[in-house]
Amino acid sequence: MTSSVSASDSDSDSAGEPELNRVIGPALLLLFVVGDILGTGVYALTGKVANEVGGAVWLPFLLAFAVALLTAFSYLELVTKYPKAAGAALYTHKAFGLHFLTFMVTYAVMCSGLTSASSASKAFAGNFGSAFDLSPGFSSGFAVTAVALGFITLVAVVNFRGVGESVKANVVLTCVELTGLLIIIGIGAWALGGGDGDLSRLTDFNTPPGESVVLSVTAGTALAFFAMVGFEDSVNMAEETRDPVRNFPRVMLLGLCVTGVIYVLVAISAVALVAPAELGEGDTPLLKVVAAGAPGFPLSVFAFITMFAVANSALINMMMASRLLYGMARERVLPSVLGRVHRGRRTPWVGIAITTVIAFGLIWFADLTALGGTTALLLLCVFAVVNVACLVLRRDPVEHRHFRAPTVIPVLGAAACAFLASPLSGRATADYRVAGVLLLIGVALWVLTYAVNRFVPGTVSRP
């Protein structure tokens, strides 16, 4: 494995368009990776995973970390080889040259980001009511939706002002959400040190009659994987990162390891203090851990922390989605108008506007409670494609030195992602139904996009 000096900054693909602003150094990139992974998932999914596997809730998180780490090696080889925005969609396009496949990968990744951001916006609105101790009437659909729409508008403003402002906001929010998880770990250590809690639960498995322990663990891992995604968003910031070939390998691997350790420690603290069955009830499992381990700790303070944690998820996912559209427009897989960059702010303003409008629609119309598993399913399929693309693109040498993963790692990554995406993992059938609907919409959009672009020569690359 090698990583050396950076490739030279690529020229703009569209004449007259300014390049993105390279302001992200190693420290900011590390906080971006950590902040993206430590998002809504761990604050909401710990209880859901406990429902699947029981007291051994730490095991699915550990396995999800291992699968994510395998795929991260493929991403590192590709982002240092092609240090451009667009991530998985760009690698798919270069590896296979099929417009339909590239479009669907782009669509799946964008859907995952927008769904995550929209879910985070609604979670922000719900925690807003708890943090300010508003009346029960605030929980009505209209009030929560109004706050969520206002919040996503604020995210769009921060995103438009510039990547520097966005990443600085990410630094603050990452510190807040990291503080919340360290509080959980600290409360767990304090309570267990004082003789409270029950560590024997860590080896208990909640296996329904007729179902094997292995199937329970794989089902839990398939769900826990949603909490480990986020590292792939960072590659969409490659054109705004200083020396991406040198910085990405060490930063992404360090960020993944940090978050993996935090997740396992949070899971151990949670299940040691709260019984798995109780932990799996409702949507605020970590609040139950705080109440059990530190009864005197003000829950409203932790509600504030949760609110800012999910705000970070929304900001990072909206940044990723807009850069994804920008990058693929510059590669001429999507209409070139999506690659427009604001000359003053040097941000992809058209991509920001379109992704914000789509997020409005998701917040207003969609019930997002069942989409966590679907988002993980779509991303697992994307990751399987990326691992294969990493192997295919070995035949495409580049002039600069770059990170290279051992060949066995992309092979194992592709197999692991395909397994977790398959029914063999014990994944809920509802995930496939929702994913099927989303993919059918994607196919319809591809047909429409391809038909429109035939009348504008040069806007789409042909297979």
pLDDT of residue 45: 74
Entry pTM: 0.78
For the chain, what are the domain ranges?
Answer: 26-453
How many residues does this entry show for the chain?
A: 463
Using DSSP's 3-state secondary structure scheme, residue 24 falls into strand
pLDDT of residue 135: 57
pLDDT in tens, the chain (463 residues): 333 333 434 444 444 556 666 777 888 888 878 877 886 677 777 888 888 898 899 999 999 999 999 999 999 999 899 888 778 888 998 999 898 998 899 888 888 888 788 878 877 887 776 677 665 555 556 787 888 899 999 989 988 887 666 667 777 877 888 898 999 999 999 988 888 888 889 988 877 666 778 888 988 888 888 788 878 877 877 777 888 888 888 899 999 999 999 999 999 999 999 998 888 776 678 888 998 998 888 888 887 888 887 787 788 788 878 887 887 777 676 777 878 888 887 888 998 998 898 888 878 876 555 666 777 888 999 999 999 999 999 999 888 888 999 999 999 999 999 999 999 888 878 788 878 887 888 888 788 777 766 765 554 444 3
Q: Which helix (H) or strand (E) holds 92?
A: helix 87-96
| Residue 366: CB atoms within 10 Å | 14
Please answer whether residues 297 and 100 qualify as being in contact, where contact means their C-beta atoms are separated by less than 8 angstroms: no
DSSP label at residue 102 = H
The topology under which CATH files domain 26-453 is Amino acid/polyamine transporter I (1.20.1740)
**CB under 8 Å to 117, separation ≥6 — which residues?**
152, 155, 313, 314, 317, 318, 321, 359
> Rounded to an integer, what distance in angstroms lies between the CA atom of residue 347 and that of residue 340?
8
Its sign, for the CA torsion 387, 388, 393, 395, is positive
